Every structure is written in C-alpha cells, then in structure tokens.
Amino acid sequence: MVSWNPDKVDVKMVSKDSQHILVHVKMLVHSKLDFFLSAMYGKCTPVDRRGLWSSLSEAVSKVEGYPWIIGGDFNIVRNITKSVGGGVRDAMGMKEFNDCIMRNSIMELPHTGCAFSWSRNWEENGMVWMLDRVLCNMEWLHQAVGCRVNVPIAQEFDHCPLDVSLHYDVPSDPKPFKYHHFLSFHESFQNIVAGVWGEEVDGHEFHKLQHYFKKVRSKLKELNKVAFSNISVRVVEM
C-alpha cells in the first residue's frame, strides 16, 4: 500500500503487481523533486521472489533519467552478517538479490538507527534480521542530496519502520563510548551488568535491548570515571 498527502505531493500509479508498486512522485512543497518510488513486499521463498527481481528489472526502463528510490521488506538479507539466529541462510536467495542490485545499477542507502529491522522471539534465543532496506539509483544520489535513512525501534510490530528524510540539519556527532577491557576486572563490574540486565522493561524486544545497552553504557562510563580517572595522578600519589 502507498499513501500520501495530496497537498504536498502529486502521485501517479505506473505499475503494480503482488510484490511491487511503482509510482511517479512530484513534490509540491519545499522541493520540486520529481522522482519514481518503488514500494515492495518480497514473498517468502526464493522462487516467488524471482518475480520481484524481474519486476525491478522491468522498471529500469520506465524510470530512466529520473531519480528512483526503492524501499520495503525484501524478505531476504544481503549477506549472513545481516542476520542473527535462525537456521541455515538462503545462499541462493542472497545471491539473486545481490545480482538484481548489480544488474540494475542500484545501490543501498546507508542508514542510522537499528542494525536489524525484524525480530522474532528475541528473548528466547530467536532471530533478528535486516530484511527491510532502501535502495536507489545514481540519479537519486545526484538530485536528492542530503537524503538520510533511519531505522527507528519497532513499537507495535515485528518490523521496524524505514524513515527517509530529504531535508535535515547536520547533527553534531556524539562522543562514542569506548569499552575498556580493564573495566571487567573491577569488583563491581559483574554486579553492574547483572543488575541492569535483570531490570523489567516493557515494550518490544528492540526497545528492551536498546534500554539495556544504553543503561550498561551509562553505568560503565560512571565506573570508569570514578574508579579509573586520573590514573597518572593516582600513581604518583601512591
């Protein structure tokens, strides 16, 4: 399904099938960007998804010369690093997906936010996979300068949404957290981690994981500051 605000964009249907909807979009406010959008939901088996790869290839001639952005649930990862848990990976399915990307001269837009977009029974040694993604052609990169993709935490569903922003303010990069191995030797380390991980947290699995990681990071930064700051001064005083 594709929905839109008619006061902000003009959308015309180009083609559709059971896995792929292609529309022509004209921005009416803020930007005069004129582009094509493919929204999709890939089927579960490699054989059925071949229809999606063919549909994308057929769309190339329809969007020629225009920016083209492609997004949705492809129901397949691109490589084994994009999945945790589950059974044997679909090697043929991954190859056919990557072949489609290469053959049609499209590329994946990098994203911020969650590393994985789908989960199942994560708390019970389940799975987290990157099934949802945003692709584009070279014209999109040239004309939609400043485009950013974010994958926020899923709130109600097992899939995370994909947020594509065309206009953004460049944020200042937060200072990264660096884990030092010596922290694990402190007498409080085990209690800190166990205490945080034992907290009851409501919400989706992604929300719970983010809470645990954020809380542990905060506690370890505090431990590092209290127990290990100004080491050189402490050594001299000793």
Please provide the size of the chain in residues. 238
23-32 pLDDT tens trace = 999 988 877 7
Q: Tell which phi-psi region holds residue 16, choosing left (phi > 0), alpha (psi between -120 and 50) or beta.
A: beta
Residue 170 in any domain: the answer is no
Q: What is the pLDDT of residues 189-226, one digit of tens each?
A: 888 888 888 888 765 565 566 677 778 888 888 888 88
Q: Is the pLDDT of residue 184 over 50?
A: yes
Residue 82 in any domain: the answer is yes
Per the structure, the count of domains in the chain is 2
CA distance 97 to 94: 5
pLDDT digits (tens, 9 = 90+) for 128-148: 777 788 999 999 988 887 788
> In 17-67, where do the E strands start and end?
20-27, 34-41
Query: What is the model's pLDDT at position 171?
Result: 46
pLDDT score for 208: 67
pTM, rounded to two decimals: 0.65
Write out the residue range of the structural domain in which residue 44 sits: 9-165
- Domain co-membership, 139 together with 56: yes
Q: Is 90 exceeded by the pLDDT of residue 18?
A: yes
Give yes or no: residues 125 and 204 share one domain.
no
**121 versus 59: which is more confidently predicted?**
59
User: Does a structural domain hold residue 1?
Assistant: no
Q: Are 132 and 188 contained in the same domain?
A: no
Same domain, 60 and 158: yes
Q: pLDDT digit string (tens) for 64-105?
A: 999 999 998 888 888 777 766 666 567 888 899 999 999 999
> Does residue 21 belong to any structural domain of this protein?
yes
Q: Domain check: are 159 and 190 in the same one?
A: no
Q: Residue 213 has what pLDDT? A: 77
136 and 210 part of one domain: no
At 213, list the tokens: 């990681």
